[in-house]
Amino acid sequence: MGFGETAANMMALGIPILAVVLLDASAFETSLLVASASSAPLVFGLSAGVFADRVNRRRLIFACALAQAALSIILGAFYAFDCLNLQVLMLGAFAASAIKLLLDSATVAAIPALVAESELSKANGWYEAVNSSTQAAGPILCGWLIQSVSLLALFITQCFACVLSASIFVRLPVDSNQAVHVRTEGHLAGIREGMAVLWRDPVLRAIAVSSASFNFFHSAFFAIFTVYAIKTLDFSPATLGLIISCAGIAGVGGALLASVVVRVLTPPVALIGSLFVIAPMGIPLMFADSLGEFQGAVLIAAIFAAWDFAIVTNLVIEQTVRQTRVCSSQLSCVSATTRFFTWGVDPLGALLGGIAASSTLGLEGTLIAAVLGMGASGLVLFVCPAVRRLSFAQA
């Protein structure tokens, strides 16, 4: 999984950098690109989980890894023949988003097949630790390849990592907890089932609404941050990659310590507090442009590292709650339904971020507004009595 996630994170950062550096994209054009990269859950989110629950997970994960490799080859060919433009990048970003949606829907349901229920919190911690380590390795490798080697080398490296990921996943028993009987209900019935399970459970419902709010503002922030970092702060691709990598390293810590944080603070406090701390930790961002390049980079790296620690802790708790409250035969479906609501707002947030940044609010004003919005997302969890009473024992 680590190799595939590294490739995905390289592409997630590489496409916006290519747009800004190679095509001189504006803030609004970059926001369109980010919206394309995050719109697959809105288009396919409800269907992806139903599909993942009805096919062999091991084969599906293997096919997704190969599809990621093929996409890297296609984008590399467009670059090699000097045909790369904003429209191609948008299509490539959308395709990468769709593949990742299907891959994540299958992967999150595969974890309970590999560990006992009592070990889910630790397993999810390790899962997010791997994700965070790839978020550390992917961006810095991406920035270095773009700046010091070549863009073609970036696409080749992505392809190689995806092939390695496919060769590993094909050997794992990730489908051992899948129901062996054939499900006879229709596709739309499966979608309705996932929505009903999500909406009936007050904890899952509150988590979905809170996550949707957070992701909306998170998408608005990062839709324009690449433009702000490169054009306003004058960061190089390598510096930007290093900053994002620092956040990934902190995320590893958050993943590995999540079970300790939950044990010390209790699940409700850890879940709600991990969102509330985002805003105060992000306010110093407004001083970055008044500092030198090195000091500004250090400040932003520290902010992103603190954010990632909190966000990954939140994700580990959310995923553990979902896995313990939903049966394995419905887990892919419910997870994808959750992503439809929580990730489906990403393109809307990205577009709003680009529009706001192009208005009198400007880049910095939009970034600060997005930071405040991310922090306020914890209010949804705070006002839910079921979340305040949450414990993993009852989950």
Name which of 40, 13, 21 is nearest 94 in CA terms. Answer: 40
pLDDT tens-digit map of 48-94:
767 777 777 777 888 888 888 888 889 888 888 888 888 888 898 88
pTM: 0.73
Higher pLDDT, 166 or 201: 201
Q: From CA 248, how far away is CA 242, in angstroms rounded? A: 10
Domains defined along the chain, listed by start: 2-174+186-388 (1.20.1250.20)
Q: Are 109 and 335 within 8 A, CB to CB?
A: yes
Distance set, CA 85 to CA 30, 68, 355 (Å): 12, 20, 21
For residue 181, pLDDT over 50 is answered with no
Lowest mean pLDDT among 82-86, 365-369, 375-379: 82-86
345 CB contacts (<8 Å, ≥6 apart)? 212, 213, 215, 216, 219
Which carries the bigger pLDDT value, residue 135 or residue 343? 343
Q: What is the pLDDT of residue 81?
A: 87
Question: What local confidence, expressed as pLDDT, does residue 256 receive?
Answer: 80
Q: Residue 180 — very low, low, confident or very high, per pLDDT cuts 50/70/90? A: very low
**pLDDT recorded at residue 379:** 94
More confident residue, 234 or 50: 234
| 290: number of Cβ within 10 Å | 8
Q: Give first-to-last CA distance, the chain, whole Å.
A: 27
Is 282's pLDDT higher than 70? yes
DSSP-based three-state secondary structure for 385: helix
DSSP summary character for residue 359: S
> Could you give the CA distance from residue 156 to residue 149 in angstroms, rounded to a whole number?
12
Helical pair 346-357 and 202-227, crossing angle rounded to 10 deg: 40
C-beta separation of 193 from 39 below 8 A:
no
Chain center to CA of 284? 24
Per-residue tokens: 193? 């089932």
Distance CA(55)–CA(45), nearest Å, equals 16
Report the pLDDT value the prediction gives residue 139, as an integer from 0 to 100: 67
Question: How far, in Å, CA of 175 to CA of 53, rounded?
Answer: 10
pLDDT tens figures, 26-53: 878 888 888 888 788 777 777 776 777 7
One DSSP character per residue, 281-340 reads HHGGGGGGGGS-HHHHHHHHHHHHHHHHHHHHHHHHHHHHHHHHHS-HHHHHHHHHHHHH
Percent of the chain with pLDDT over 90: 19
Mean per-residue pLDDT for 329-356? 83
Confidence of residue 259 (pLDDT cuts 50, 70, 90): confident
Lowest mean pLDDT among 39-43, 238-242, 308-312: 39-43
Provide the residue count of the chain.
395
Q: Tokens in use for 187?
A: 């596709």
Q: Is the sign of the CA dihedral 267, 391, 203, 259 positive or negative?
A: positive
100: pLDDT strictly greater than 60:
yes
Rounded CA separation 271/214 (Å): 13
pLDDT tens per residue, range 116-136 = 655 666 666 666 666 666 666
The DSSP 8-state label assigned to residue 149 in this structure reads: I
